[in-house]
Amino acid sequence: MGQRGEHIALKFRIYDGTDIGINTYAPSMTVSSLKKRLLAEWPQAKTVTPKSVDEVKIIHGGKVLENSKTLADSRITAGNQTGEAVIMHAVVQPLVPKNKRTG
């Protein structure tokens, strides 16, 4: 886990291979807060743009991170010894209204 006072450098790769970041974040930041920051930095010219944090899934190490957990809780560390950013995948999954009918 990240140590106190240490910030974590993160880069987000989106659906078309474009990267967002590199920015640094506190290990105490929640995944939900991280998604809010990511949403603000999302390239608006993309064909797929999330409308809310609920439409964004952040994946690290093959697992979808939970909104209520911190980066430290999610075992996101400061990266490797060379100081490179940790790469995460950001996937947009638009919400479908429960009452929407098909056909």
Domains, in order of start, for the chain? 8-92 (3.10.20.90)
Q: Reduce the DSSP state of residue 27 to 3 states and report it.
A: coil
b or e along 27-46 (b: 16 or more beta carbons within 10 Å of the residue's beta carbon)?
Answer: bebbbbbbbebbbeebeeee
pLDDT of 6 > 70? The answer is: yes
Residue 82: its pLDDT value, please? Answer: 60
Pairwise CA distance, residues 62 & 70, whole Å: 17
pTM for the predicted model, two decimal places: 0.81
What is the end-to-end Cα distance of the chain in Å, rounded? 49
Q: What is the pLDDT of residue 1?
A: 39
